[in-house]
Amino acid sequence: MVFGKKRDVIGLDIGSSSIKMVELKEGKNGFKLQSLAMCPLPPEAIVDGALMDSVTIIDSIRELMNTAKSKAKNAVIAVSGHSVIVKKITLPFMTEAELEESIQWEAERYIPFDINDVNLDFQILGYGSESSDLIDVVLVAAKKDIIHDYVSVVMESGLNPVIVDIDAFALENMLEANYDRDGEETVAIANVGASVTNISILKKNVTAFTRDVFKGGNQITEEIQRQFHVDYEEAEKIKVGSKMDSPSQGTVQNVLKNACESLAVEIGSSLDYFQSTSTYEKISKLYLSGGGAKLKDLDMILQQHIEAPVEIANPFKKVEYSEKSFDLEYLREIGPMMAVAVGLATRKAGDK
């Protein structure tokens, strides 16, 4: 979903616990980091992808842009959650132009919303796995009211939203910009956010399957609040490693381990489902991103569940940056949280 002319943009990831912004400049050898910033949001500002406190979100975006000292005005944003459907479908062979004409009618069979209430897009993956008379297509539907809400807060903050993407495709672009991969291999990425984990599977460098699991860092924070009778801020500190007295420390480790096990089971089930319903070969690697990617031992627990290598994604792996302007350790620390924003920042207004 594109608005406006081809121009450089910023990637603006409006997440349920924070807003992240990345500005990249594209050169001959890839991308160079121009600016980045992150601003926390209160827990109830965004719930299940719905914007509950627009004023706070608008103020936070303005604060973010001031912190980053960016003069950019064009933003690429993304939506995810219950209001977004991504589905791989197989259709009789047709050209892209023919599919453009018939996509609304085809989509009505697969989308559980009133077709008049959604914006539709698609990407042709290639010939169907069983016959060259068929084509595989990724169908995307996003509810218009959610898109309107996100576009409105971005405009009211003083920015011009030129593309509305989805998190899964932003993660695909982040991987493409940073990792050299065999075009035939099948890889997965799990973006563990505060309230939702986006799971995507890529075949031939294109998203072939997505699923949102409504588990993330917030559930762990809430469990720590229940166990230790502390407020949200204190529970967040405990979750990311703030020490408690010795008896309590053991309980914290159990809470974190159980939460990681639960999340690993969900991610593993999604990957198993994909592999059982697909003719694609085994998943060769799982990349982890999002704030929850750095939960202690999550990568190792996941590796036991999926029997594939697990790597914490570095969205700045191939991005150039000035050592005078950006600290390497800081980029490593916040990297997993910036994955969607980096993927969005690789876009240009006018892209399909």
Per-residue pLDDT tens over the stretch 204-253: 788 888 888 888 888 888 888 888 888 988 888 888 776 666 557 778 88
pLDDT, averaged in runs of 10, over the chain (352 residues)? 60 96 92 96 89 97 95 94 87 90 89 93 75 84 96 98 94 94 86 92 85 88 88 84 65 86 92 82 91 89 91 96 94 96 88 62
Pairing of strands 285-289, 186-192: parallel
Write b or e for each residue in 316-333: b if 16 or more Cβ atoms lie within 10 A of its Cβ, otherwise e. Answer: beebebeeeeeeeeebee
**Residue of 89, 190, 94 whose CA lies nearest to 141:** 89
Q: Please give the Cα distance from 141 to 85 (Å, whole number).
A: 5
Tally of helices (H runs) and strands (E runs) in the chain: 10, 15
Structural domains in the chain, CATH included, are: 10-219+257-345 (3.30.420.40)
Q: Please give the Cα distance from 71 to 58 (Å, whole number).
A: 17
pTM, to two decimals = 0.91
CB of 118 closer than 8 Å to CB of 111: yes
Q: Please give the Cα distance from 114 to 197 (Å, whole number).
A: 26
Amino acid at 208: A
Distances (CA, A) of 84 to 132, 175, 224, 231: 29, 21, 30, 32
CB of 139 closer than 8 Å to CB of 120: yes
Per-residue pLDDT tens over the stretch 37-69: 999 999 889 988 889 999 999 999 999 999 999
